[in-house]
């Protein structure tokens, strides 16, 4: 079971700039917890996401000597990928590919066809640097723009990514619209069809629906889940009312309830919970 902690997603939509030193202190604490991966920052235009304009400075302050967690950075184009690939400390690059034409334009200013070509080019760059590209399928559980949506479309996109050579695909519930029935349907189709691809879930959710989404994903074979402590975050490019990430606390509680033990540093985890409250409320 892989838990991906996403402080990048938690902070990117905040109005007030979080001081660089505070980001470093918070992420350093997360690095002690034992998460598989930390989605720590983003190499995108500071005009688009001003909160993350200090990603390189944050990276320079991280203590990576005593952690087994790996680092993931989000990019939206080849320029951002080249910037991220300059840092040996980064293990994964993440690219948001949408099944919605409107959202792809809104998020990366590209058509879907252009975005797929960009994915191919970035994947080639990653292979040259021995990095792994994670592709997020945005609007993976619904389309709020009136465009056609069904699980077959998700499967077709996954097939295209498979042809490019993508090894990790994370289905993103970008606006928190998924239902347990839809999650079960999508994962039950996708996971058996692509056993050689690691299929993950990046849920946005209200606290009231978090557990039923986790149960649907887990019972359908998903073993890679993204979360954010406190259920913070949301996609500022999607809509004005941000629906936060599924809370890491919910993920751990669900796994504990079904008797799956995660090897985590409880002291560091409790410190992270307290620090989150202190920094972000």
Residues annotated catalytic, as ranges? 235
Q: Write out the DSSP string of the chain.
A: -EEEE-HHHHHTT-SSPPPHHHHHHHHHHHHTTT-SEEEEEEES-TTT-GGGTTHHHHHHT---TT---EEEEEESSHHHHHHHHT-TT--EEEEEEES-HHHHHHHHS--HHHHHHHHHHHHHHHHHTT-EEEEEEETTT--TTS----HHHHHHHHHHHHHHT--EEEEEETTS---HHHHHHHHHHHHHH-TTSEEEEEEB--GGGHHHHHHHHHHTT--EEEEBGGG----TTT-SSPPPBPBHHHHHHHHHHTT------HHHHHHHHHHHHHHH-
């Amino acid at each position: 079971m892989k838990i991906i902690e996403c402080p990048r997603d938690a902070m990117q939509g905040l109005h007030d700039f979080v001081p660089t030193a505070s980001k470093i202190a918070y992420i350093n604490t997360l690095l002690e917890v034992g998460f598989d991966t930390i989605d720590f920052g983003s190499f995108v235009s500071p005009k688009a996401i001003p909160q993350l304009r200090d990603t390189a400075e944050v990276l320079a302050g991280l203590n990576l000597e005593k952690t087994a967690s790996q680092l993931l950075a989000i990019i939206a184009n080849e320029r951002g990928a080249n910037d991220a690939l300059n840092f040996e400390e980064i293990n994964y690059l993440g690219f948001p590919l949408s099944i919605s034409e409107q959202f792809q334009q809104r998020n990366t200013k590209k058509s879907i066809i252009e975005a797929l070509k960009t994915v191919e080019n970035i994947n080639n760059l990653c292979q040259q640097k021995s990095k792994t590209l994670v592709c997020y399928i945005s609007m993976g559980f619904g389309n709020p723009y009136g465009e056609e949506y069904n699980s077959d479309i998700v499967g077709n996109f996954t097939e295209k990514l498979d042809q490019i050579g993508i090894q990790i695909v994370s289905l993103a519930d970008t606006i928190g619209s998924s239902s347990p029935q839809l999650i079960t349907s999508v994962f039950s189709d996708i996971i058996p069809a692509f056993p050689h691809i690691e299929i993950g879930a990046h849920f946005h959710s209200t606290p009231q629906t978090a557990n039923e989404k986790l149960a649907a994903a887990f019972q359908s074979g998903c073993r890679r889940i993204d979360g954010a402590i406190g259920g913070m975050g949301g996609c500022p490019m999607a809509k004005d009312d941000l629906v936060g990430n599924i809370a890491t606390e919910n993920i751990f509680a669900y796994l504990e309830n079904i008797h799956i033990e995660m090897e985590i540093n409880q002291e560091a985890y409790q410190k992270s919970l307290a620090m989150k409250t202190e920094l972000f409320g």
